[in-house]
Amino acid sequence: MSLDPEILSRIQFAFVVSFHILFPAFTIGLASWLAMCEGLYLATSRDVFRRLYQFWVKIFAVSFGMGVVSGIVMSFQFGTNWSVFAEATAPVLGPLFSYEVLTAFFLEATFLGIMLFGWNKVGPRLHFFATAMVAIGTMLSAFWILSANSWMHTPDGFELRDGIFYPVDWFKIVFNPSFPYRLVHMVLAAYLTTAFVILGVGAWYRLRDTAHESARVMLMMGVGFVSIVTPLQIVAGDFHGLKTLEYQPAKIAAMEAHWDTERGAALALFAWPDSAAETNHFEIAIPNLASLILTHEWNGELVGLKDFPRSERPPVAPIFFSFRIMVGLGILMLIAGMSGLWLAWRRRLFDTPWYHRYLVAMTPSGFIAVLAGWITTEIGRQPYTVYGLLRTSDSVSPVGAPSVLATLVTFVVVYGIVFGAGLYYILRVVRTGPERPPVDPKPDPYATPARPLSYPNESVGERS
């Protein structure tokens, strides 16, 4: 592998995107959770919901800040590293990105300010309105960005002239064939990601025997949510897979490391795919299962990778493994939801340490599953940026390898520092907890406010 701008740009884009996706995946769910907490507080006046809001909004603010700054980088990457791609697709994709900014980013950014700093400036209903606007903004953002991404997988509603994609039917562009499935799958993934973080934090407080009331609410709401949404997500993923088989059969073949076209194909639980030899080593497989899952028929036909020329095949191993990681985590999530439901029914949800330890271990599961899912779908699109029409090797900017290498190294270092610091501050907020003990209320006007974690005078408490 030589240091050519294409490889470096691909690494850089993969790095920047993977880093960025963690934050939307978290904040989409967290914004809805905050809106729910605040809504419940307004409806019931129970103080625990206010405390939960005040606690999670700090974590939201840090995550959102990192999502914003890494997102700005994203919006420039198309031009700096993929200018040929940008030129070809701008007439179609440009408006989708622009609509994301117009409908979502301004809404989120503006109302976030009111959400964080407006407690004493606007009334409770208006403040709840601001929280709801931020939550709606994150949804709209997901809508547009997944529309754009799906179009690159299943392009529709355009006309190709001289290498440029001209829009013909905007409805077909926005609601392209894979978009509804991808959107549902991603939004549910974001919700599950947040739910498992909330469950993990709640379970950790139970294990440490602290923050009792908050921990109970988090566990109860989290288990209720996860036990309903995980099965839904598995169904949504199945539908998404069927669409992928219809439009990107090579990707499905790579996900299953399936080389020969056959009826009644087996599902490999584990294997070591070997692209050079076009076979799998150490395969453990269940007969007929792949056909059953993907075609919903015992003897359905699955097209194998050998039916595609080598130049049209995506890299098999990363897709095969990342897909298995995602599905495996999905099964662990299902176990978490079902056991939680069973424990709640037996009235032991708050007093079962092994289950709480399991939930703590599952805290990052959503993030890993989201990353694995994106790796599956995006590497599965190779060797194309616009599937079947524009090759990745023809998409790259006329930028020299040294420039790309320099920025790649810088981004890795900078993201390491920023991500590390952000994670550290989030963990510190978690450790302080939502039900901190009363601190000596002797505010020194010149020393305290800059030390927020020891700052006793929480502004929300003064709300009338």
Q: Which residues from 56-75 bind another protein, rule CB under 8 A?
A: 57-58, 61-62, 65-66, 68-73, 75
CA distance 121 to 462: 11
Residue 306 CB, nearest distance to another protein (Å)? 38
Pick between residue 299 and residue 410 the one whose CB is nearest to another protein.
Answer: 410
Pick between residue 114 and residue 218 the one whose CB is nearest to another protein.
Answer: 114
CA distance 255 to 375: 11
Which position among 7, 15, 42, 94 is part of the footprint of another protein (CB under 8 A)? 94
Q: Which of residues 387-446 bind another protein (CB under 8 A)?
A: 397-400, 402-403, 406-407, 410-411, 414, 418, 421-422, 425, 428-429, 445-446
CA distance 79 to 253: 32
Which position among 239, 270, 298, 455 is part of the footprint of another protein (CB under 8 A)? 455
Residue 413 CB, nearest distance to another protein (Å)? 9
Interface region with another protein, contact rule CB under 8 A, candidates 179-187, 225-233, 387-395, 452-460: 452-460
Residue 405 CB, nearest distance to another protein (Å)? 12
Residue 265, class by beta-carbon neighbours within 10 Å (0-12 exposed, 13-18 middle, 19+ buried)? buried
Residue 118 CB, nearest distance to another protein (Å)? 6
Instruction: Determine, following the binding rule CB under 8 A, whether residue 83 of this chain makes contact with another protein.
Output: yes
Task: With beta carbons less than 8 A apart as the criterion, state whether 389 and 160 touch.
Answer: yes
Interface region with another protein, contact rule CB under 8 A, candidates 299-307, 335-343, 375-383, 449-457: 449-457
Q: For another protein, how many residues bind (rule: CB under 8 A)?
A: 81
Instruction: Determine, following the binding rule CB under 8 A, whether residue 95 of this chain makes contact with another protein.
Output: yes
CA distance 313 to 254: 8
Which position among 22, 34, 37, 114 is part of the footprint of another protein (CB under 8 A)? 114
Pick between residue 100 and residue 378 the one whose CB is nearest to another protein.
Answer: 100
Q: Which two three-digit tokens encode residue 260?
A: 């020969």
CA distance 350 to 7: 50
Residue 165's region, left for phi above 0, alpha for psi from -120 to 50, else beta, is beta
* Beta strand segments in 128-214, E: 158-161, 164-167
Residue 78 CB, nearest distance to another protein (Å)? 7
Other beta carbons less than 10 A from residue 81's beta carbon = 25
Q: Which two three-digit tokens encode residue 358?
A: 């399991």
Instruction: Determine, following the binding rule CB under 8 A, whether residue 157 of this chain makes contact with another protein.
Output: no
CA distance 71 to 69: 5
Q: Which two three-digit tokens encode residue 8?
A: 């470096």
Identify the three-state secondary structure at position 395. Answer: coil
Which position among 4, 47, 101, 353 is part of the footprint of another protein (CB under 8 A)? 101
Residue type, 102: L
